[in-house]
Chains A and B, each alone.
Chain A
Amino acid sequence: QKEVEQDPGPLSVPEGAIVSLNCTYSNSAFQYFMWYRQYSRKGPELLMYTYSSGNKEDGRFTAQVDKSSKYISLFIRDSQPSDSATYLCASPKRGSNYKLTFGKGTLLTVNP
């Protein structure tokens, strides 16, 4: 079992849709969670960063963490064609000396 699992998609939605992106992780050594967005031929861009269970909102983006079920989600409201990218979840594992463990990424396309 991979330590951080992410459905690779691809996911295609119409403009204005609510998008739900999800990851699961294998053990409680993962405490902090990040979501990155990666456009084609670019590096990952940090979108959201969260620690606690619950929701964190930033504009159209909401990150949700459920530590009891080891499940993290990113919701995008009113999706735009400019949101078309690969979304990566990541976490530094306790005891890993600061290295990030990434999911494989979900490719999202928002159609106008």
Chain B
Amino acid sequence: EAGVTQSPTHLIKTRGQQATLRCSPISGHTSVYWYQQALGLGLQFLLWYDEGEERNRGNFPPRFSGRQFPNYSSELNVNALELEDSALYLCASSLPGQGFYSNQPQHFGDGTRLSIL
């Protein structure tokens, strides 16, 4: 079974540009999550999509946005890139949870390393 796949592996941008990162979840998984892993800060929750809808977002500015497509793949867009956006961006997917509190474990891809020059 294929795992979570992310593209591109590495992305180099300059300040002020826009970046688009892509994620394909494990087959059968409908929930997609985005996390940022910046040096010294650990993994920080960015966004959660389920059934095409944004369900929750972390403490990030609105220039971080995304969407989920009908095939459950997802895109993360970062506008007006800043130097501190340099990080590993990880996508995870899970089976649908039940109710308000999920007990479905999340499975991660290998990430997109975004470097801002």
Contacts and interface: CB of A to CB of B under 8 A. Distances in A.
Give the interface size bracket for A toward B. Answer: 20 to 34
Given A43-B111, A44-B90, A92-B101, A98 B42 contact: no
Contact of B90 (A31, A43, A90): A43
Nearest to A46: B105
Contacts of A34: 105-106
Nearest to A104: B42
B83 interface: no
Interface string B81-105: 0000000001010100100111101
A7 interface: no
B48 A99 contact: yes
Contacts of B4: 43
A92 B102 contact: yes
Nearest to B6: A43
Secondary structure of the A side of the interface? Answer: loop
B80 interface: no
Contacts of A60: none
Interface residues of B, number: 28
Contacts, number: 65
Interface in A54-112: 88, 90, 92, 94-105
B110 A98 contact: no
B24 to A, nearest CB: 13
A64 B97 CA distance: 24
A88 B43 contact: yes
A103 B37 CA distance: 12
B90 A98 contact: no
B64 interface: no
Contact of B42 (A31, A43, A102): A102
Interface of B: 4, 6, 31, 33, 35, 42-43, 45, 48, 50, 55-56, 58, 90, 92, 94, 97, 100-103, 105-111
Interface of A: 31-32, 34, 36, 41-46, 49, 51, 88, 90, 92, 94-105
